[in-house]
Amino acid sequence: MDNPAELCSRIEDEYRALLGTVPGVVYTLDEQGCFTYLSDTVETFLGYSNNELVGTHFSVILSPADIPEVSRQYVLPRFSGIPTGSDRAPKLFDERRAYPRRTSELKMIVRSKPQNNSEEQYCRCKVNSSGRYKIDDGNGVQFCGTVGIIFDITSEDASSFDLDSKKKYNTLDLLSQALAHAFSNVFTGIYGNLQLIEMQAGEDNRFSGNIDAIKNSVEKAVTLIKQLSKTISDA
């Protein structure tokens, strides 16, 4: 029977062998966004050994242009105060959210290790990532890093990749979402107060025409805001 140390070593070897069969680079990050593990496939894909990247920040393998688009440090401030829902939530390489809001199908550019002073080579990839959590001593949940998989999609159609990349966090799109949210709150307040006035007025119909006119204007404004948001989002 294996002693505990031998058992742990054997389980670790089997775990690494299993990860080696995954068709992508499995990675884990610590709380600061530094690599703590990468599967051996990273050497085939990017030319780096596991040891060269462990301990470095994930940005070392990213295209400089993509860092502001996939790093929570830069992306999340742009979404402050903007409700996104699961379908429009930002996608992040250093994801902290877990299922169902984790990152899926994030298309981005990574750079491979330069060879013999040659120019840097860039590869298209797709990333799925999720936050990792553990139970602390007080039985609470504590964030302990990110786990993800990088898939090589260099052979896929470049035109669809470029189109998807250009739509990342368009400034006008974010602005339209913020305006829609702000005006929605305003219109909800107006409409709610009109209903209270109607209830308090009872059978007094002196202002019913004015109230109906305000309601119609609010409904038209809500429709206009929705159309504006959709137009900007589809642009």
**pLDDT per residue as tens digits for the range 27-54:** 999 999 999 999 888 998 898 998 999 9
Average model confidence (pLDDT) for the chain?
78
147-158 pLDDT tens trace: 999 998 887 766
**C-alpha dihedral over 32, 56, 132, 78, to 10 degrees?**
50
Most confident range, picked from 19-23, 32-36, 163-167, 230-234: 32-36
173-199 pLDDT tens trace: 666 666 666 666 677 777 677 777 777
Is pLDDT larger for residue 120 or for residue 51?
51
pLDDT at 31: 93
Residue 82 has pLDDT above 50, yes or no: yes
Three-state SS sequence of 143-196: EEEEEEEEEECCCCCHHHHHHHHHCCCCHHHHHHHHHHHHHHHHHHHHHHHHHH
What confidence category does residue 163 fall into, taking pLDDT thresholds of 50, 70 and 90?
very low
Give Dmax over CA atoms of the chain in angstroms: 91
Give the whole-angstrom CA distance, residue 201 versus residue 53. 71
